């Protein structure tokens, strides 16, 4: 595995590899890697070509300064996992490599409602930062395949739209990989390492809520199940931000289940100062 820290060096290397006909598979991450990240790397490896992974905690996508400061860093362990997962190229830049002209951003993308609902509503500016870093990383790595996790469902949709808006759609394939979970259902996340033991014991409640939404879609109204989930989360000590239902295709929010539609249920809830998100496609056979 080759490790790059400088954008010019990796750019040069990947341009050379591309010109020799190698396919580039790119996995962008913020590090503190776990089996969810590993699944993206494994998929990229299976697809063939060169597997490139970036580890960069992007300051511009954190609306909460404390969340940024406390974001776990684990460079040594990350390198070991990357090596073991068969990653060919690791990109671990400093902030100044990604943002040589400073953190402010002049680009203005029209994501429609996509970046103002759900995560966008609760984390103002978050998707702007995601778009900013993705534009930069895609410009540096010029991948043929981009691997993203369904765990961040709305982020996948924003990045898909970004790829369209920036004219990359015809030469960049987006591969969305299923959410990898712990044995009790908790979606793997770098932030899980910050949970205390009692918080960790309760954290799978979010997954249990998603399972109950999925199970009750034919018998109950969404309003009823939504309230049950909010109540359960509160009872367990969470501060739930949303329990939502949306069209899985375009993330239009829905008031109730529609049998013939592909739908996704999405939850964001805080436990202590740790914010967790998760989602579940309700009727995957329609996808």
Three-point CA angle 277, 278, 280, nearest 5°: 160
The answer to the question of residue 60 lying near ligand AMP (CB under 6 A) is no
Q: Judged by CB under 6 A, which of 92, 131, 188, 263 binds ligand AMP?
A: 188
In the bound state with ligand AMP, the residue whose beta carbon lies nearer, of 99 and 207, is: 207
Q: Which stretch binds ligand AMP (CB under 6 A): 89-97, 162-170, 174-182, 205-213?
A: 174-182
Q: Decide: is 148 part of the binding site for ligand AMP (CB under 6 A).
A: yes
Q: Is 267 in the site for ligand AMP (CB under 6 A)?
A: no
In this chain, which of 54, 60, 141, 190 binds ligand AMP, going by CB under 6 A?
Answer: 190
CA-based end-to-end distance of the chain: 36
Query: If binding is defined by CB under 6 A, does position 152 make contact with ligand AMP?
Result: yes
Question: And the tokens for 199?
Answer: 């918080």
Classified as helix, coil or strand, 75 is helix
Q: How far is the CB of 188 from ligand AMP (least distance, A)?
A: 4
Pick from 249, 258, 283, 255: nearest CA to 114 = 249
- CA–CA separation, 170 and 87 (whole Å): 25
x/- string (CB under 6 A) for ligand AMP, residues 194-223? ------------------------------
173-206: b (≥16 Cβ within 10 Å) or e = eeebbebbbbeebbbbbbbbebbeeebbebbbbb
Closer CB to ligand AMP, residue 40 or residue 117?
Answer: 40
Residue of 37, 75, 144, 171 marked active site: 37
Closer CB to ligand AMP, 257 or 278, in the complex: 278
Give the pairing of strands 274-281 and 263-271.
antiparallel
Q: Provide CB contacts within 8 A for 36, sequence distance 6+.
A: 149, 151, 179, 180, 187, 188, 189
Joined together, the tokens standing for residue 111 give 């994501």
**How much of the chain is in helix, strand and coil states, percent to nearest 5?**
45, 20, 35
Q: Is 145 in the site for ligand AMP (CB under 6 A)?
A: no
Instruction: Count the Cβ atoms, other than its own, within 10 Å of residue 171.
Output: 10
In the complex, what is the shortest distance from the CB of residue 201 to ligand AMP, in angstroms, rounded to a whole number? 19
DSSP secondary structure letter of residue 239: E
| Tokens 């309003």, located at residue | 223
Could you say whether residue 179 binds ligand AMP (CB under 6 A)? yes
| 151 binds ligand AMP per the rule CB under 6 A | yes
Name which of 87 and 180 has its Cβ closer to ligand AMP. Answer: 180
Does position 280 interact with ligand AMP (CB under 6 A)? The reply is no
Residue 126 appears among annotated catalytic residues: no
- Cβ proximity to ligand AMP: between 58 and 226 the closer is 58
Give φ, ψ of 253 to 5 degrees. Answer: -70, 145
Q: Which of 4, 25, 29, 233 binds ligand AMP (CB under 6 A)?
A: 29
> Nearest distance from residue 283's CB to ligand AMP, in Å?
20
Among 54, 154, 189, 283, which residue sits at the site for ligand AMP (rule: CB under 6 A)? Answer: 189
Q: Site residues (CB under 6 A) for ligand AMP? A: 29-30, 36-37, 39-40, 148-149, 151-152, 177, 179-180, 187-190
Q: Give me the active site residues, please.
A: 37
């Amino acid at each position: 595995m080759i490790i790059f820290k400088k954008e010019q060096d990796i750019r040069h290397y990947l341009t050379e590899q591309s010109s020799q006909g190698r396919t580039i598979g790119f996995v962008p991450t913020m590090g503190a890697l776990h089996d969810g990240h590993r699944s993206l790397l494994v998929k990229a490896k299976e697809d063939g070509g060169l597997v490139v992974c970036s580890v960069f905690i992007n300051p511009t996508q954190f609306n909460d300064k404390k969340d940024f400061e406390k974001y776990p860093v684990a460079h040594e362990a990350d390198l070991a996992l990357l090596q073991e997962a068969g990653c060919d190229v690791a990109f671990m830049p400093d902030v100044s490599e990604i943002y040589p002209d400073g953190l402010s951003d002049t680009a203005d993308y029209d994501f429609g409602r996509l970046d103002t609902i759900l995560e966008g509503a609760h984390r103002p500016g978050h998707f702007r930062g995601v778009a900013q870093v993705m534009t930069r990383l895609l410009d540096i790595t010029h991948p043929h395949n981009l691997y993203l996790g369904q765990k961040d469902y709305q982020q996948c949709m924003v990045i898909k739209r970004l790829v369209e808006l920036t004219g990359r759609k015809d030469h960049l394939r987006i591969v969305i990989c299923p959410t990898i979970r712990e044995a009790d259902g908790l979606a793997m996340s770098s932030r899980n390492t910050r949970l205390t033991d009692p918080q960790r014991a309760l954290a799978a409640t979010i997954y249990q809520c998603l399972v109950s939404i999925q199970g009750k879609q034919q018998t109950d109204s969404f309003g009823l199940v939504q309230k049950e989930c909010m109540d359960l989360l509160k009872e367990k000590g969470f501060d739930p931000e949303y329990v939502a239902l949306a069209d899985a295709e375009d993330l239009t929010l829905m008031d109730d289940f529609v049998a013939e539609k592909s739908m996704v249920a999405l939850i964001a809830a805080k436990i202590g100062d740790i914010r967790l998100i998760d989602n579940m496609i309700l009727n995957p056979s329609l996808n």
